[in-house]
């Protein structure tokens, strides 16, 4: 997975925020701080963009457990985010379950595989995070 992420990140940076595998889907790179290691971790994710609001989902491809970056964000929600050619600081906050699931359904309307992740992850509920840019 680390090699795959590194390839996506390299392509993202070379193309100003895109990766062929994801077509025109909006991508972000989260720079989280390892909850145990304290090291910076970079994670590429497909985001849901609604106007000025952005959301990401701890889907882990529908796995029964949350991804490592979920725990990193819970420990340190103030991070750096790359989006397109921008890099900015932000705070990511986990949405309440009902709101998070509504956003996940909206993402699924755009990218149906996210709906498959919901089924695959059950009974785990996939957490959703709002990306709030720092002032």
* Burial annotation 26-65 (CB, 10 A radius, 16+ → b, else e): bbbbbbbbebeeeeebbbbbbbbeeeeebbbbbbbebeee
Distances (CA, A) of 22 to 26, 35, 53, 116, 128: 8, 28, 20, 16, 20
Structural domain boundaries enclosing 67: 2-133
Confidence of residue 5 (pLDDT cuts 50, 70, 90): very high
CATH number, position 56 = 2.30.110.10
Q: How many structural domains is the chain composed of?
A: 1
pTM across the whole model: 0.94
- 68 token code pair: 């490592």
DSSP class of residue 70 equals: H
pLDDT tens, residue by residue, 13-52: 999 999 999 999 999 999 999 999 999 999 999 999 999 9
Residue-wise pLDDT tens digits, 87-132: 999 999 999 999 999 999 999 999 999 999 999 999 999 999 999 9
> Which DSSP category does 114 fall into?
H
């Amino acid at each position: 997975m680390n090699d795959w992420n590194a390839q996506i990140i390299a392509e993202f940076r070379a193309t100003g925020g895109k990766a062929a595998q994801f077509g025109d889907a909006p991508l972000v790179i989260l720079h989280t701080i390892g909850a145990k290691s304290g090291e910076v971790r970079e994670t590429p994710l497909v985001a849901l963009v609604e106007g000025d609001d952005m959301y990401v989902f701890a889907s882990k491809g529908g796995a029964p457990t949350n991804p490592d970056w979920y725990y990193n964000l819970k420990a340190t929600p103030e991070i750096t985010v790359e989006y397109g050619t921008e890099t900015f600081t932000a705070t990511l906050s986990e949405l309440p379950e009902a709101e998070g699931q509504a956003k996940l359904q909206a993402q699924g309307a755009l990218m149906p595989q996210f709906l498959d992740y919901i089924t695959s992850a059950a009974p785990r509920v996939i957490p959703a995070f709002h990306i709030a840019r720092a002032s």
